[in-house]
Amino acid sequence: MTVPPRLTADMALFLDFDGTLVDLAPTPDSVKVVDGLATHLNQLYDGLGGALALVSGRPIEFLDFMLMPTELPAAGLHGLERRMSRQHPIESAETWPGIPEIKEKFFQANLFQDGIFLEDKGIALAVHYRAQAERENEIRDQVARLAEQFPTLNTIHGHMVVEVKPAAEDKGTAVQRFLRQPDFAGRIPVFIGDDTTDEDGIRVVQELGGYGIKVGEQKSDAIFRLPDVRSVHDWLGQLNVPLFFEDVRNGHVSKTSSTRSNKE
């Protein structure tokens, strides 16, 4: 495993959420945030001169809830939502051609049975099949066949999930937008993520002279790797080391998303 160099104050840092800042959970509404993480990210934001953004498949509203009271620049729903700075409101498309229609086709196909369920993100849809992991290829193929009927939509694969979203945006385009902002411009771009959906962001930062950090053992174009979420926290602590690390080592956790599962 190629360990990344130290985090330095001249970087522009882009962070995935699930599997990167928090451990993956059996369902989207059961992730847990380690105590002190929000405070630490806030300190990193200051230490990097504002050049820190979350780039996630989650809605920005969900990220804000999990990290409250910290609100950071963020791209949600793989770039379909964005808040370019703390001072800007969240921008998003309300609807997208094909999303309501393919949702209806999912139900007509009786896709959601035996623990397979739909996460409706509004302008994107996620089909979770962790309970039927042995049927992965079958479920992915079925979703792909339905999505082919809608040229404006794209299918992407994650950990036990297949998502259908507008093809116009991904984590790479989200990173490119941030790098045009004053706080991010002229810095070394670094993207940290664990899933296949993060590869777009990883490729963009490496094309621009920065580097990607892959969390875990999945195949990746990233130059560097870290083994797990704990190691990500440790790496992030190289710039400013708060009491956060004592919380991590003691295994303290705080908010879960169970009270907001309808917002994912």
Dump pLDDT digits (tens) for 90-115. 998 767 889 999 999 999 999 999 99
Whether 1 is in a domain gets the answer no
The structural domain count of the chain equals 2
Q: With 80 as the cut, is the pLDDT of residue 8 above it?
A: yes
CATH of the domain at 79: 3.40.50.1000
**First-to-final CA distance of the chain:** 33
255 and 173 inside one domain: yes
70: nearest Cα among 263, 198, 234, 254: 254
159 and 29 inside one domain: no
Mean pLDDT, range 166-186, rounded to an integer: 95
Residues noted as catalytic: 16
84 and 111 inside one domain: no
Query: Residue 227 in contact with residue 19, Cβ under 8 Å?
Result: no
73 and 193 inside one domain: yes
Could you say which of 166, 187, 213 is where a domain stops? 166
Q: How far apart are CA 5 and CA 88, in angstroms?
A: 32
115 and 220 inside one domain: no
109 and 203 inside one domain: no
Distances (CA, A) of 89 to 22, 61, 84, 133: 25, 11, 8, 38
Looking at residue 239, what is its pLDDT? 81
Range of the domain at 136: 99-166
Q: Are strands 211-215 and 224-226 parallel, antiparallel or unpaired?
A: parallel
Whether 183 is in a domain gets the answer yes
112 and 83 inside one domain: no
Query: Residue 126 in contact with residue 57, Cβ under 8 Å?
Result: yes
pTM here is 0.84
Whether 5 is in a domain gets the answer no
Whether 230 is in a domain gets the answer yes
